Structure 1
Amino acid sequence: MPGAGAPATHSHRYVTRYRGVPTFADSTKTDDGAYDDPVVREAAVSALGRYNGAVVAVDPNSGRILTVVNQKIAFGDGYIPCSTIKPAIALAALEENVITRDTMLRVGRRKYMNLTDAMAHSNNVFFEQLGARMGFDTVSKYGRLLGLGELAGYNLPDEHPGSFPTAPPAYGGVARMSSFGEGIQVTPLQLAALSAAFANGGTLYYLQYPHSQEEVQNFAPKVKRELNIAPILPEIREGLLAAVLYGTGKSSYDRGGDELPIGKTGTCDDHTTPSKIGWFVTYADETHPKIALAVLLRGNTRRVKGPTAAQVAGRIYRRLREQNYFTAAAQSAVLHTGN
């Protein structure tokens, strides 16, 4: 298990090359997807392609795992979250009244940003300031509330719990912890569960993975806890939408579709693995959310970054749209609400 305390770096130059972790690999050869949602699995396998990574897809309304591509990675070790930690930090800062949506913070000599733009452009300086203002104890409280450092699944024998530090990381302290997750390890399952909670209004479900037709037919959701974050979520979603429309996640957005994904990228070097890491955590569509995704990429080249993971998610959404997946979701929502 890699240590959680070694420093990670966030670099746009991609100077470091990690030769031990390939960018491309067969990500499905050991998977058991017999009882996955076949439409979702086909879309995820096709979209991930030859990349060395994992995709976890979850129904945000129940916590059912729809598919896991590359189960070895998804259930295995935790990885630095990179900038996917930022929505959790934003939520904590809003809840603690450290900022409002319109608060402008100085992020450069003559440059200021509000929360929406800082989320869209994944500005580290903005989130370092939030972490420093809140302090480690507050950041830790919200990280654990949102499910970091604990098992995301229910009765998943091979699942790794990730890790959440009990003290500020030696390298960069709570500031770097808040900007790109220094000292934290998360799994694709944990980020998929958190994305699902953001999608459904604040219910953190135990993720369950049916392994028989009977389990599929008799599926019953299990709530881990209610987060009581609904009043703040619109401000978080505004930043996640901005990331997709004009920020680091714009490669996920296919303007030919009616569904509107929102999400957050993450890009950094993880010296504990060692490898480059690219994340995209997302859900679609916002009106009637039916699917939440966590996409993780690992490797040793500049292709491994958050925008590439967002591109993978975009291909998943496009394939699902071609299969009328989101149309079926909207019709189902109308039937269930009686409208």
Structure 2
Amino acid sequence: MNTTLRRLASVVMVMFLALMVSTTWIQFFHADELNDDNRNVRKIWAQFGTDRGPIVVDGEAIAQSTPVDDQFGYQREYTQGRLYSSLTGYFSVVSGTSKIEDTENDFLSGSADALWMDRLRNTLTGTDPQGSSVELTIDAAAQQAAWDALGDQRGAVVAVEPSTGKILAMVSKPNYDPNDLATHDSQAANDAYTKLANADDDPLLSRATNWTYPPGSTFKLVTAATALESGDYDADTVIDAPDTYQPPGTDRKIGNYGGTSCAASGEMSLADALRISCNTAFAELGVDLGSEALYDQAEAFGFNAPFEVPFSTVESIYPEPGFEDALVAQSAIGQWDVRTTPLQVAMTSAAIANDGDMMAPYSVDTIRDPQLEVVQENEPSRLDQPISSETAAQLTDMMVSVVESGSGTSAQISGVTVAGKTGTAQHGTDLPPHVWFTGFAPAEDPQVAVAVVVENGGTVGTSEATGGAVAAPIARAVMEAVLNG
């Protein structure tokens, strides 16, 4: 009997020990993981009882928490919610957090390690805790200009300061109002999220950073950079520019926009080929350069890796080399499986504008504690040098000619030299093309680089839609807003 009891006691002790170890392991080693899980609604509920810090643009709060008389204590409110939703994201008792509300949550909620003195002060004085303010790099005038110019069209606009990487504007349409998700009516918040999540046009996904498109002729900047960086070409190098081009290994021919001829002689300079966006010239040039060289140059510009701004973006894609020449020809003009975000296109232009140096893009400028003391200030940092300063200078001159007398004349600004590149991207046999414009201004002292994409030809909505006609005027409006600020 004593032996049986001892065995039973041993088993019970082992079970208690296992329970203690398991509980300690979960509560201690997995505490942060469980607390940060968006499904942990209790954490969100507790945070709603805190005076969450504001998100600020040009000194004005675009997201803030205001006292309310309910079980939560504070209501998150978004002024001009749709205008800034691709940046702020949402703070919801049902669906958690996204974008800036997510990446800067520790500061906004007041729980960041850097704020321990504030928490100690609150404990000693009995003061209610407060979150820090997050000041964005966004230029309010540029953001509004991008919103207004894009209008009711689907697409995105991104503007960047080339010398620093500061994001000056970021607009995506269609979008959503984060106030619908921030409501304290959990049923209404859940219904709103379900409707948005199931919508065919995916308004919860930012087309600026988390959506990819075929870049069309904007990718010719990468192809031209590859040629210039090889040392075998310069802007004046004469290249083939046939009326049609049949790549090796296929019986399918590549033509120019509208079936036009680029040059009566069948040849033209690299600069002129970019100026008028000659498909056949760049398709053949891409085959001559090869898929590996194009791949390396695309990766140098940031393809195949996400940006952190601070929320993560999706990768722009240039396929790994080794595919047949027919597909190399298509990829060289931004078709086939090449895909990019508008942010990536803006960063490509920004690197050209900044003498070949690509600065890391960022949207959070300064974080201040409740006493308005700076606790974190982001500084510009160099991400890479995808091209030499000599190549950047040649590309700049070539892009200026695009706007002065080529396919991008609609981006001209009186008294300002603008550099740019248009794009028209096919993405289906029965669908109008997506249209692009990217560029920067002033060309001699760049203050802003911009990328615009409008889906399915925008309001033109036909096979005749072009980046020069539809996207370039939007880019011009944003550049003007920055330059006039």
TM range (shorter): 0.7 to 0.9
Q: Which residue of 1 aligns with 2:283?
A: 128
Aligned partner of 2:92 in structure 1 is none
Could you tell me which residue of structure 2 aligns to residue 293 of structure 1?
Answer: 450
* Aligned counterpart, 1:329: none
1:203 to 354, 357, 361: 357
Q: Does 1:248 align with 2:407?
A: yes
Residue 316 of structure 1 pairs with residue 470 of structure 2: no
1:111–1:272 Cα change, 3 Å:
closer
* 1:204-243 to 2 correspondences below 5 Å: 204-210=358-364, 214=368, 218-243=377-402
Corresponding residue SS for 2:241: strand
Question: What are the within-5 Å matches in structure 2 for residues 31-70 of structure 1?
Answer: 31-32=86-87, 35=136, 36-70=138-172
Mapped partners of 2:324, 2:396: distance in 1: 32
1:282 and 2:439 matched: yes
Once the two structures are superposed, residues 278-311 of structure 1 have per-residue CA deviations (whole angstroms, 9 ceiling, x without a partner) of: 1111111122211110111102612753111112
Q: Give me the TM-score of the superposition, normalised by structure 1.
A: 0.79
Q: Percent identity between the aligned chains?
A: 27
The one-letter code sitting in structure 2 at the alignment partner of 1:152 is: F
* Higher helix content, 1 or 2: 2
Q: What is the alpha-carbon distance in structure 1 between the residues aligned to residue 218 and residue 434 of structure 2?
A: 11
User: Shift of the alpha carbon at 1:61?
Assistant: 1.0
Instruction: Work out the CA distance in 2 between the residues paired with 1:282 and 1:316.
Output: 11
Q: Which residue of 1 aligns with 2:421?
A: 264
Which string of whole-angstrom CA distances, capped at 9 and with x for unpartnered residues, describes residues 144-188 of structure 1? 11111211334323x111222114556932111112343211101
SS in 1 for 2:393: helix
| Distance apart, 1:222 and its partner CA | 2.4
Q: Secondary structure at the match of 1:149?
A: coil
Q: Secondary structure at the match of 2:208?
A: helix
Which residue identity is paired with 1:279?
W
Letter in 2 for 1:305: T
Unaligned runs of 5+ in 2: 1-81, 89-134, 173-204, 243-263, 369-373
The offset of 1:276, in angstroms, is: 2.3
SS in 1 for 2:206: helix
Q: Which moved more, 1:289-298 or 1:97-106?
A: 97-106
Scaled by the length of structure 2, what TM-score is found?
Answer: 0.56
Choose which of 286, 293, 316 in structure 2 pairs with 1:162. 316
Structure 1's 53 and 132: CA in aligned 2 closer, same or farther, altered over 3 A?
same
> Residues 96, 171 of structure 1: CA spacing in aligned structure 2 closer, same or farther, 3 A cutoff?
closer
Distance of aligned partners of 1:190 and 1:29 in 2 relative to their CA distance in 1, 3 Å threshold: closer
* SS across alignment from 2:452: strand
> What letter matches 2:294 in structure 1?
V
Q: Conserved in 2, the CA contact under 8 Å of 1:149 and 1:186?
A: no
Which structure would you say has the larger Rg?
Answer: 2
What RMSD, in angstroms, separates the aligned Cα atoms of the two structures? 2.7
Tell me if the contact between 1:152 and 1:193 (Cα under 8 Å) persists in the aligned partners. no
Cα deviation for residue 275 of structure 1 reads 5.9
- Rounded to whole Å, the distance in 1 between the matches of 2:416 and 2:429 is 37
Number of equivalences: 295
Letter in 1 for 2:140: P
Aligned residue among 73, 76, 95 for 2:229? 95
Indicate the residue corresponding to 1:153 in structure 2.
308
Aligned to 1:80, the other structure's residue is in SS state coil
| Counterpart contact for 1:278–1:309, Cα < 8 Å | yes
Q: Distance in 1 between matches of 2:288 and 2:377?
A: 47
2: CA distance, partners of 1:262 / 1:80: 21
